Structure 1
Amino acid sequence: MDSIFKVCKRGECGISIIGLERDNNEYINEDAELYSIRSYKYSESITINVINSVTSDGDYTNQSVELVTHVVTGIDRADVDFPIDGMYEITHIILPNQTYIEKWGNKFTSAQYSSMYYYDETDDKYKLFNIETKESTEVTLNDILEVNDLSVNNEGGQTSIIKSSRITFCTCYINRCFYNICKDILSKFCGKCINKLGYTKEDVYNRDIIWMTINIINYLTELGQFYEAQRILESVIQCSNLCKNERSEKGGSGCGCNN
C-alpha cells in the first residue's frame, strides 16, 4: 500500500492533514480474514504525521507530531497550527498497531519483513517486533523516521513502515503583518488633512518591502523553489525588525533575531 494524503488550509495559520488511503482502496477490507505484506486493515493500523520546519540551510526543527488512531467510522485527519512562517516538511506515516502484530506477527518470516515496526496503543509506545524471537522492544519515533521504508534485506524482506513526505509553505504571519501595516497607514491617513499625512515614508517603505516579499515567495513556491523562498523570508523578515510584533518566539533561522 502507499501513503497518500492531502494538506488543506484551515483558519488563518493552520492546516488539516487528511489521509486518502481509504479513498484509494489502499487498506484491506475490514471483513476479510487475511493478511498481506505492507498492507493493513484500517483498524489494524495508525497514522503518524510529523511536521518539521526547515531552514534555507536544510536544518530541521520538529514542530509537531500528530498521531491518529484509526476508528473504522472515523476520518484520518490531523489539525495543525503553524507557529512560524516558512517551509515545512510533512511526513505521513502508516504503521500497523498491536492488534496486527498479535493476529499476524507469528505468520511472517524475515524473507517477508526485514523489520516490523508498530505502535502499541495500550502502552502508547513505538515498538520493533523481532520475527525470530517473537519479542518486542521499545523504539523511538526518530528510529522509525531514520529507516528507509523501501529498503529490503538479503532475503527480500521489507519494513512495515509506509510513509511519504511533502513540502508546504506558511505565509500566515507575514500576511497578517502586511494587513496591520496597511490598516495603520489608513488610520493615520483618515485622521489627517491631505497635506498633513499622519503616516511616514518609513511606513510606506515597510509596506512595500513586505508586499514585494509576499509576492516573491508566492512566485517561488508556485515554481516549487521552496528553499529559495525560505532564504528570501529569512533575509527580509527574520533578520530585520520588520513584522516583529507578528513573529512567534518559537523557531528561527539562527540569525539572532527570532530565536
Structure 2
Amino acid sequence: MPNRDPDSVNFPPFETEDLRDNLARFLNSPFEDSTGTTRPVGNYRWGVYAFFDYDGEPIYVGQTNEKLRTRIRRHLTNQRTDAVAMSVLDPFEVFEIEVWPLPEFQEVARADLAARQHLDALERLVTAQAIEGSEFRAILNEKDPPLGTATVAPPPSFRGRIVSDRVFELRSHPDFRIARRALIISRLAQVISERKVQGGLRRVLLTQAKRLQWLAERRYEALGGAASVEPEGDEDA
C-alpha cells in the first residue's frame, strides 16, 4: 500500500478500515440455505444475529427484517443504533458474528404477522441459548426479546470472525481489554447518571461490571496473584 499523508487524505484509521473490510467479507460470504439457494449471507432480509467477544462469549443478540447486512453494519460501522449510542454495545468487543437467516420470508412484506411472530420466536430461542452458554448467564441487551408463545426450530446458521490477525494482536491483550471495558462502563454509568433510564440499562451495567471483574481477576491470577504483590521496602520503616 502506498504511503498516505493522514493530514491531506480523507481515510479512516487502520482499525476502522480493517473492520469494514472484514465485515464486508463476512457479509458477502456465500450461504446455501435450506431451500437450496445460495446468496451472500448479508443479503437475507429476515434473520437473527449474535455478536461474540474475544473469549467466545455471546454479548448481544438482535433481529432484522430489513436485511442482515443493513442492520449489522448499522451496529458496527455507522454506530447509529441505540445500543452503541448508549454504550451498551462496544463494536471493539465484537470478534465473531453468527447469523440465522430465514430464507422462507425473503420476499415477504415487513408487516407480515406470521413472519414477524416467527422472527420473534427465533430471537427468543437464540437469546436463551446465548444466556445459557454465557459464563455470566447474561448478555448485554438492554431489552428482552418480544413476548410470544410461538416456538421454532433453529435454522442453519453461519458464523465467522470479523477481526484480522493484526487487529487481534492489538485488541486481544488482556490489559487492553480491561482498559476498554472500564472505559465503556464509565460511559454507560454516565449515561445512566444523566438520564431517567429503565432497569435494562442498569442490568447491562451490572453485567459489564461482572465481566470487568472476571477479566481483571483472571489477569491478576495469571500473573501470580497474591504472590506477585511486593512488600513495602525498608525505606518506609
Normalised TM-score (structure 1)? 0.34
Whose strand proportion is higher, 1 or 2? Answer: 1
Whose helix proportion is higher, 1 or 2? Answer: 2
Kindly name which structure, 1 or 2, has the bigger radius of gyration based on alpha carbons.
1
Q: Which has the higher contact order (CA 8 A, sep 6+)?
A: 2
